[in-house]
Amino acid sequence: MDTEISIDLGRLDPEGETIEGEADIIDLDEEFVKPFGGVRYRLHAQLVGDELLVTGHLEQDFDLVCSRCGKDFDTTIVVDDFTESYPVDEKSREIVLTSDARDSIILNLPSYPVCEESCPGIAADVRQPVDGRWAALDGLITKKGNENG
Ligand SMILES: [Zn+2]
């Protein structure tokens, strides 16, 4: 897989052109944020005066950890409005978009990812005994309550 997203100005259609592909550009290696596959991109590049205007769509799959329940889940971070412009002159040969594309994906990562909006978090499991000994204790408490009542 490519490790850069770049536009070859020598081959760019003067009318503008759409480039598509997949590039492995997210080098995060965090315990709770794991990218997998590459960034899929579909970008339109066009020279406007002495600037190259690039707009379009980026997406990247991640394995994240839910901030409520702590479980892993897969999600796709989508950037639908990527927009950057780059100054060009007669010496410019290639415009590299890699770091801008990477930044816009990372900026769209949620600060508090949730596996689903309705995720109740770990609180919902509090009544479930995690250990058999707790279950026994629960039984004692119930019994005692019945004797008193
Ligand atoms: Zn969750």
Q: How confident is the model at residue 121 (pLDDT cuts 50, 70, 90)?
A: confident
- Note residues around ion ligand 1 (Cβ under 5 angstroms): 66, 68-69, 115, 119
For residue 86, pLDDT beyond 90: yes
Residue 101 Cα, ligand 1 centroid: separation in angstroms?
28
Do 99 and 86 form a contact (C-beta atoms < 8 A)? Answer: no
Residue 28 lies in a domain: yes
Range of the domain at 24: 6-121
Predicted TM-score of the model (pTM): 0.78
**Domain presence at residue 63:** yes
> 127-143: per-residue pLDDT in tens?
555 556 666 666 665 55
- Tell me which of 14 and 51 has the higher pLDDT: 51
Tell me the mean pLDDT in the region 10-32. Answer: 92
In order of 35, 81, 85, 87, 122, the CA distances from 95 in angstroms are: 25, 19, 10, 9, 47
Domain annotation covers residue 78: yes
Does 100 reside within a domain? yes
Give the count of domains, the chain.
1
Residue 138 inside a domain? The answer is: no
Compute the distance from residue 118 Cα to the ligand 1 centre, in Å: 8
Q: Does residue 127 contact residue 44 with C-beta atoms inside 8 Å?
A: no
Residue 132 belongs to some domain of the structure: no
- Whether 11 is in a domain gets the answer yes
**Within 10 Å of residue 54's Cβ, how many Cβ atoms?**
22
Residue 66 domain-assigned (yes or no): yes
Q: What is the mean pLDDT of the chain?
A: 88
